Amino acid sequence: MSLMNYVYLAIVLFAIGAATVLVRRNAIIVFMGIELMLNAVNLAFVTFARMNGSLDGQAVALFVMVVAAAEVVVGLAIIMTIHRSRRSASVDDANLLKL
């Protein structure tokens, strides 16, 4: 089996994550889509690290995880705040981008 299969799997997961972000209206699920995209990229990093025989890709993947963890914390806090003030977790309700 070619290692490229892992890469194709990462691409499929990434595309599904992107579709989740675009299609879903529940902010929590949208956020999970973002996490899925980050994880897909991590998979690609790990696979490429193996292809190159070096650990650098894994190190970068680790940093991606850290950043993703920080992002989750802040993002979920924001979702909580919005839900508290608007009683809604729908991204369509937070429409102040247009007056």
Partner 1 sequence: MTGTAEAVLFWIAGPTMVLGALGLVFAKRAVYAALSMALVMILLGIVYLTQGADFLGVIQIFVYTGAVMMLFLFVIMLVGVDASDTTIDSLRAHKWFALVIAVGLGLLLASSLSRAVFAPPPPISQMNADGNVAGLASLIFGEYVWVFELTSALLITAALAAMVLAHRERLTPKPTQREWSRRRVHENRNVAGLPAPGVYARHNAVDTPALLPDGTPSELSVSRVLAARHQLSTPERYSSATPGEAEPSAVGSPDDDARPDRGTDPGTHVGTDDARGRGPARGNEGDDAR
Partner 2 sequence: MTTLPLSLPTAVAAADAAVAPAQGMAGVAWLLVALPLAGAALLLLVRRPLERVGPIIATVLSWGSFVVGAILLVEMIGRSPEARAQHLTLFSWLPVGTFSLDAGMLIDQLSVTFVLLITFVGSLIHVYSLGYMAHDPDRRKFFAFLNLFVAAMLLLVTADSYLLLYVGWEGVGLASYLLIGFWNWNPPYASAANKAFIANRIGDFGLGLAIMAMFATFGTVTITGVDRAAQAAGDQAGTMLTVIGFLLLLGACGKSAQFPLQSWLGDAMAGPTPVSALIHAATMVTAGVYLVVRAHPVYDHAPVAALAVTIVGAITLTMGAIIGCAKDDIKKALAASTMSQIGYMMLAAGLGPVGYAFAIFHLVTHGFFKAGMFLGAGSVMHGMGDRVDMRTFGGLSGKMKITWATFLCGWLAIIGFPFLSGFFSKDKIIEAAFVGEGWRPWVFGLTTMLVAGLTAFYMSRLFFMTFHGKRRWLEDDHPHESPASMTVPMIILAVGSVALGGVLQAGGFLDWLAPVTGGHAGAAHHEPVLPIPVITGGTLLLVALGVGLAWARYWRADVPVTAPAGSWLTRAAARDFYQDDVNHGLLVVPGNALVEAATLADDSGVDQGTDGVGRAVLGASTRLARLQNGFVRSYALTMLLGVVLVLAAVWMVQS
Residues contributing to the site for partner 2 (CB under 8 A): 18, 21-23, 25, 91-92, 94-98
Give the whole-angstrom CA distance, residue 20 versus residue 58. 26
Interaction partner, residue 74 (partner 2, partner 1, none; CB < 5-8 Å by kind):
partner 1
Least Å distance, CB 33 to partner 1, is: 6
Using CA atoms, how far residue 45 sits from 62, 74, 77, 82, 99, in Å, is: 10, 25, 29, 34, 41
**Applying CB under 8 A, does 99 fall inside the site for partner 1?**
no
Radius of gyration of the chain (CA): 17
Question: Does residue 26 sit in helix, strand or coil?
Answer: strand
Interaction partner, residue 41 (partner 1, partner 2, none; CB < 5-8 Å by kind):
none
**Applying CB under 8 A, does 41 fall inside the site for partner 1?**
no
